[in-house]
Amino acid sequence: MGEIIGAVVTTLIFVIVLVMLASCIKIVPQANAFIVERLGGYRDTWNVGLHFMVPIIDRVAKRVLLKEQVVDFAPQPVITKDNVTMRIDTVVFFQITDPKLYAYGVESPIMAIENLTATTLRNIIGDMELDETLTSREVINTKMRSSLDVATDPWGIKVNRVELKNIIPPAAIQDAMEKQMKAERERRESILIAEGEKKSMILVAEGKKESAVLEAEAEKEAAILRAEAKKEATIREAEGQAEAILAVQKANADGIRFLNEADPTNAIIQLKSLEAFAKAADGKATKIIIPSEIQGLAGLAKSLVEVGAAEK
């Protein structure tokens, strides 16, 4: 019986030793850090890997996450410079850079960041009017990040970014803004319609102007063509007349040359003159004055005619 009890006690002691040895082995995962205390005081900060500690004397006081963390804080009431109360909620992106300062620097670090964010936001918005607040998100974000980063540095926390999630003005201000935006949209619509009508009228006027210019150019070209055609016709007519005159003159010259070559007598010349006077009269003249030389020639011609008749 005593041997059985002894074996049980030995086994129990062995199991307890194994459990204590297992509890002394700690594995720190990636992006984590362990704060180790010995007898209640800070001893060391364990990073990623396998670590051993003394049983009972050492203990892991705090496990710290080193990843970037995001905290969304509830809307905070703030008052602008022109006494408008509105609610703003913020989102803070932070990362723990010193696990020891984070563990021992401040009690409830997240609550401390939330309160610090609220007070910093009230200070910044208090120096800005409503319109400036609604249009200066980036300015507010930058100022808040700078202030929070400086304030949280003793806590081992680095604030990477601060964003204003929502800016909620009072209902009356929202209604006024909506009416203002509606009026602005209507004004822009009226301007666009007026500009469209103006452009349309300008295009119509330009079309009429171009049409009138084209018509004038067409009439001008038609007049030029008509003038050129008339000019060409006149030139052809003048050329025809010139050719006719030239032909007449040539015929006259040929006749004169023929007469010169025939060596006519004075009687024949006078007879030809008489024929010319007959043609000049052409049965239309009522009175013709004939020179005395031609009258004598006429008598001579009559005598010749009588002599010819007698011979027959």
Helix/strand/coil for 46? strand
What is the phi/psi pair of residue 72, to 5°?
-105, 110
* Predicted local distance difference test score (pLDDT) of residue 300: 47
Options 3.30.479.30, 1.10.150.20, 3.50.50.60, 2.30.110.10; CATH for 69-169 is 3.30.479.30
DSSP state of 153: G
* Predicted local distance difference test score (pLDDT) of residue 308: 45
* Predicted local distance difference test score (pLDDT) of residue 47: 92
Judged on CB neighbours under 10 Å (0-12, 13-18, 19+), 140 is: buried
* Predicted local distance difference test score (pLDDT) of residue 305: 42
* Predicted local distance difference test score (pLDDT) of residue 163: 93
* Whole-prediction pTM: 0.55
H-helix or E-strand spanning residue 196: helix 171-262
Tell me the domain boundaries of the chain: 2-64, 69-169, 172-263, 264-312
Residues of the chain scoring pLDDT < 70: 1-2, 17, 255-256, 258-312
Judged on CB neighbours under 10 Å (0-12, 13-18, 19+), 293 is: exposed
The torsion defined by the Cα of 14, 17, 21 and 22, in degrees rounded to 10, comes to 60
Helix/strand/coil for 60? strand
